Amino acid sequence: MAYNIHHPSSIIDQQLITTLRNVAPDAEQLSMLHPAQLDIIYSQRWFKLFVPASSGGLELSLPDVLKLEEALSWVDGSLGWVVTLCAGAGWFIGFIPQTVSGAIFTNEKLCLAGSGAMNGYADLTENGFVINGSWPYASGAMHATAFTANCLIRKNNQQLYQTDGTPQVAAFILDSEEVVLKQTWKTMGMCATGSHAFEVSNLLVPVDRTFIIDPEHAVLNHPVYQYPFLQLAETTLAVNMSGMALRFMELVELEATQGKIKKTTITLEVSDTLNQVRKTFFEIASTSWETLIRDKTIPVALLKKVSSISQDLVRASKTSINTLYPFGGLKAATTNTEMNRIWRNFHTASQHALFNK
């Protein structure tokens, strides 16, 4: 059965697709995105998907972001992942004090990297905060212009607490020159994301470099900053999985068409199943966005549907790749082929904590 669902190739210009994909093997060897890929990202402003037009961004709706990020991961997994994570960090412009954000986000080569780990301490002083910590998995770290880091808040070396008894925490934005990169990214896949660790030691930052990621603390009046962070993360990461799965499926089909591997009806069955889940995913994600625009809020029941269908999309994508892998022949197991790179990228990215609850 054919499902009326867009294909990633309809989202990005074909010439850009060719350039971005052709240099993907070189990017893997570089352990970071290729300069040609970065040039396109900067010119297309893909690191600024959620940034307001007034700050040089694209100011896209969530449904449009999801389609684009899936398409980028269909082009190449590392490419899509870096854009997704760095553009996601760019979403923080909605929460960062405007006294700070202006100078950061008008940079034409803006790229925010960061980590969700609560791996640092921020000690409150009369002059601001003194930060110490080390944070892992900062995708895009090699070309980041700024970093975001989560910290536990202390005073006089004692943890501070909220009125409900939970520890006080906050996110901080740091200049790339203020952090030290650690070459820690040694995975089998997603090599070109350069998701290295970064650390800071006794760094004094002013109070206005801290922000809280919560709709109630948004400083910009745009619906996207009212969309819950958990579902934003789940949806944007899920489409990375489906993008890679779609491309893997195409490569297996191509091998069969060329007579290099045995033809099978399994590819059609897998395609139907994945596209059925994709269709439902985009429908629910769009409904949540339209509901937010109309009602200024999203019911909890609908948010649960968004989370559930995001997990379903990841599972369907994983099933697709794992089902088709045996039909890829030795090409699927040869490390310098696109098919194998996708397999390695997928099984590295799918280890993300959001997909392994």
The rounded distance, in Å, linking the Cα atoms of 210 and 57 is: 22
* Contact assessment for residue 283 and residue 291, using Cβ atoms and an 8 Å cutoff: no
What number of other Cβ atoms are within 10 A of residue 123's Cβ?
20
Pairing of strands 146-155, 112-114: parallel
Cα dihedral value 85, 306, 68, 91, nearest 10? -40
Q: What is the pLDDT along the chain (357 residues), one digit of tens a residue?
A: 556 899 999 999 999 999 999 999 999 999 999 999 999 999 999 999 999 999 999 999 999 999 999 999 999 999 999 999 999 999 999 999 999 998 899 999 999 999 989 999 999 999 999 999 999 999 999 999 999 999 999 999 999 999 999 999 999 999 999 999 999 999 999 999 999 999 999 999 999 999 999 999 999 999 999 999 999 999 999 999 999 999 999 999 988 777 665 666 888 889 999 999 999 999 999 999 999 999 999 999 999 999 999 999 999 999 999 999 999 989 999 999 999 999 999 999 999 999 987
For residue 41 the two structure tokens come to 């990202």
For residue 58 the two structure tokens come to 């694209």
Q: Quick check: helix, strand or coil at residue 14?
A: helix
CA–chain centroid gap for 259, Å, is 36
Beta-strand ranges (E) seen in the chain are: 112-114, 120-125, 128-138, 146-155, 158-159, 169-175, 180-182, 196-205, 210-211
Phi, psi dihedrals of residue 339, rounded to the nearest 5°: -60, -45
Non-local CB neighbours of 311 within 8 Å, separated by 6+ positions: 234, 238, 355, 357
* Contact assessment for residue 228 and residue 171, using Cβ atoms and an 8 Å cutoff: no
Domain architecture of the chain: domains with CATH: 8-97 (1.10.540.10), 112-217 (2.40.110.10), 227-355 (1.20.140.10)
* Contact assessment for residue 76 and residue 21, using Cβ atoms and an 8 Å cutoff: yes
Pairing of strands 112-114, 128-138: unpaired
CA–chain centroid gap for 329, Å, is 31
Q: Residue 267 corresponds to which amino acid?
A: T
Q: Quick check: helix, strand or coil at residue 93?
A: helix
Which pTM was predicted? 0.96
